Amino acid sequence: MCLIMKSGIIRLSALLIALPLFYYSCTIIDNNVVETGYGLKVQNGMVVSAYPDASIIGVKILQNGGNAVDATAAIHFALAVCNPAAGNLGGGGLLVVRESDGNIAALDYREKAPLVAARDMYLDDKGEVIPGLSTSTHLASGVPGTVAGIAEVHNKYGNLSFKEVIQPGIDLARQGFIVSDKLARSLNKMKDRFIERNSHITAFVKDESWVEGDTIRQPELAETLELIRDYGMDGFYRGRTADLIIKEMERVNGIITHGDLENYKAVWRDPITGSYKGYRIISMPPPSSGGVAIIQLLGMIENYPVSEWGFHSDKSIHLMTEAERRVYADRAEYLGDPDFVKIPVEELMGIDYLAGRMSDFNPDQSGDSRDISAGSIPGYESEETTHFSVVDGDGMAVSVTTTLNGAYGNGIVVEGAGFLLNNEMDDFSVKPGYPNIYGLIGGEANSIQPDKRMLSSMTPTIIEENGELFMIVGSPGGSTIITSVFQTILNVIEFNMDMQTAVSAGRFHHQWLPDQISVESDVFDTLLVQKLEKMGHTIAKRPSIGRVDAIRVLSDGSYEGGADPRGDDTAAGY
């Protein structure tokens, strides 16, 4: 059916952010109908991603006989074009896949420290951190993993040819795509940075300001994608593209070498699994902290009556906050790259351990994080990563989070190749106790070593109910990824929200240090703030937390989308 059913922005209550409800529309492409919209429900296949063009490309792949992994590859390449702040070729990602027969796998294509990286590479002679070095320079980039990741997952599971899944991205780069209002504003804000950090004119800068409806064409990026189309991984990690990356590195003291690029490999890892009230949670293992953290959080609150206490009640917020405080403290101490450090994964998720961690939980009084100054968290507005969720008609599901770390990574576009480089090295603990751009601190487990992967918070997750696919969920947001995924899961399982409402609902976040509850503006009313402050909590308002893109399977087998209205995120399906 192709009808515009209902449209409009409805503000439900102070607890929900401005929520577009049930906005459906459809596009007819090559005689196939693709439906898009908030609260979308479809029968055959669905994609929820950060930009409409990418979601529609994914659905077209499904309609043309591709499975969820074919769509994943196509969406990934498309986002590298139309979501330049986070979609990428020059970054990395993590994904979890569940085949229709229930087999699960996790792919780690996280960036790595270059071989000549060193533990103290961002410190001066006095051992102080040199501001900006791990975020804004050529030295900030880890060895990119995205192209290896896409090639690997597609090679293992894809039905269509690699050429078929990459071509829509090439066309989007060559023919251009239409800029949204949000993207125009974001590019305008970054203009000075692009000019300052690049010696050539990039596709992201023009004389006048960008406005909604403009078209961005990226011929250099199209050429790079064509090399990847024709030579696979070698089109990126060897030959012309690799030469251009190295030339870019040599321009300003970068340290990535041809050897780093040639040696990069994506790694299959065993997913983290756990349960919550009968649901099976399948998520990302280290080098992400996300899977361990989400199982810990759910385990810590499982025995409390949160649904009875209610959504955003002082009691449930207090409980979730206290669980978060403990989990983020564990993250800082124990988690890192499992190929370099021994991580007590099972112990951290054990029932007794979690019960012990909550044994000093006081229902009336906030805990007290270590009394150290964790420093400010600069650049909330510059955070950007992207998550997308995909399901096909057979029920194969993929949950993918990919990133350059900060918005537009380090802002450096590889001259001649048209893609941005990541600033993922900042996800290492550059100095024990020194906060990264998300205010996260860490120690030895996440210290810099050559060839090591930096710790991530990305939490691509799939949930089963009674052995069947139930939900695909994940988010960007740096340190807030874990809490955004946690809250979205609880919104559905404990607070009975449909998928769209669960995604749109207001969010809060605590990460141990700084010792405060961050909350989206207007989400907590004055009375609630007073109650939480009386318990000893500090409340800090911030603009937005996370951008969750999720899919739920309904009891009749149809798919229900939740696209985050905080961005241009779009559910598309058929």
Q: Does 569 bind ligand DON (CB under 6 A)?
A: no
Q: Does 337 bind ligand DON (CB under 6 A)?
A: no
CB of 119 to ligand DON, least distance (A): 20
Of residues 294, 267, 268, the one with CA closest to residue 283: 294
d(C-alpha 69, C-alpha 75), whole Å: 10
* Count of residues touching ligand DON (by CB under 6 A): 14
Query: What is the helix (H) or strand (E) element at residue 352, kind and residue range?
Result: helix 351-357
* Interstrand relation of 539-542 and 517-520 (parallel, antiparallel or unpaired): parallel
Q: Judge whether 203 and 221 are in contact, CB under 8 Å.
A: yes
Q: Is the dihedral of CA 168, 173, 178, 180 positive or negative?
A: positive
The piece of 249-257, 378-386, 484-492, 523-531 that touches ligand DON (CB under 6 A) is 378-386
Q: Judge whether 104 and 49 are in contact, CB under 8 Å.
A: no
Q: Does 476 bind ligand DON (CB under 6 A)?
A: yes
d(C-alpha 479, C-alpha 421), whole Å: 21
Q: Does 385 bind ligand DON (CB under 6 A)?
A: yes
Q: Does 384 bind ligand DON (CB under 6 A)?
A: yes
Helix/strand/coil (H/E/C) assignment for every residue in 172-210: HHHHCEECCHHHHHHHHHHHHHHHHHCCCCCCCCCCCCC
Q: Which residues pair with 92 in a beta bridge?
A: 403
Cβ proximity to ligand DON: between 481 and 497 the closer is: 481
Lookup: tokens for 261: 């690029």
CB of 427 to ligand DON, least distance (A): 5
Q: Does 481 bind ligand DON (CB under 6 A)?
A: yes
Site track 407-436 with ligand DON (rule: CB under 6 A), x = hit: -----------------x--x---------
Q: Does 111 bind ligand DON (CB under 6 A)?
A: no
The piece of 136-144, 152-160, 181-189, 475-483 that touches ligand DON (CB under 6 A) is 475-483
User: For residue 514, is the peptide bond before it cis, meaning its omega torsion is within 30 degrees of 0?
Assistant: yes
CB of 232 to ligand DON, least distance (A): 26
The structure tokens 């020194």 sit at 434
Cβ proximity to ligand DON: between 316 and 410 the closer is: 410
CB of 449 to ligand DON, least distance (A): 17
Amino acid at site 494: E
Told to judge if 385 belongs to the known catalytic residues of this protein, a careful annotator would answer yes
Query: What is the helix (H) or strand (E) element at residue 169, kind and residue range?
Result: helix 162-175
Q: Does 134 bind ligand DON (CB under 6 A)?
A: no
Cβ proximity to ligand DON: between 180 and 459 the closer is: 459
Cβ proximity to ligand DON: between 83 and 385 the closer is: 385
* Interstrand relation of 32-37 and 570-573 (parallel, antiparallel or unpaired): antiparallel
* Torsion of the alpha carbons at 84, 87, 91 and 92, rounded to the nearest 10: 170
Q: Is the dihedral of CA 110, 177, 420, 386 positive or negative?
A: negative
Cβ proximity to ligand DON: between 24 and 408 the closer is: 408
The values of phi and psi at residue 408, to 5°, are: 60, 25
Q: Which of 36, 385, 401, 403 is an active site residue?
A: 385
Cβ proximity to ligand DON: between 332 and 396 the closer is: 332
Of residues 79, 88, 84, the one with CA closest to residue 51: 79
Site track 31-50 with ligand DON (rule: CB under 6 A), x = hit: --------------------
Cβ proximity to ligand DON: between 227 and 441 the closer is: 441
Amino acid at site 456: S
Q: Does 477 bind ligand DON (CB under 6 A)?
A: yes
The piece of 153-161, 227-235, 313-321, 453-461 that touches ligand DON (CB under 6 A) is 453-461
Q: Does 456 bind ligand DON (CB under 6 A)?
A: yes
Q: Does 63 bind ligand DON (CB under 6 A)?
A: no
CB of 177 to ligand DON, least distance (A): 21
Query: Distances in Å between the alpha carbon of 337 and those of 35, 87, 111, 479, 512?
Result: 41, 23, 11, 17, 21
Binding site for ligand DON (CB under 6 A): 383-385, 403, 405, 424, 427, 456-458, 476-478, 481
List residues with catalytic annotation. 385
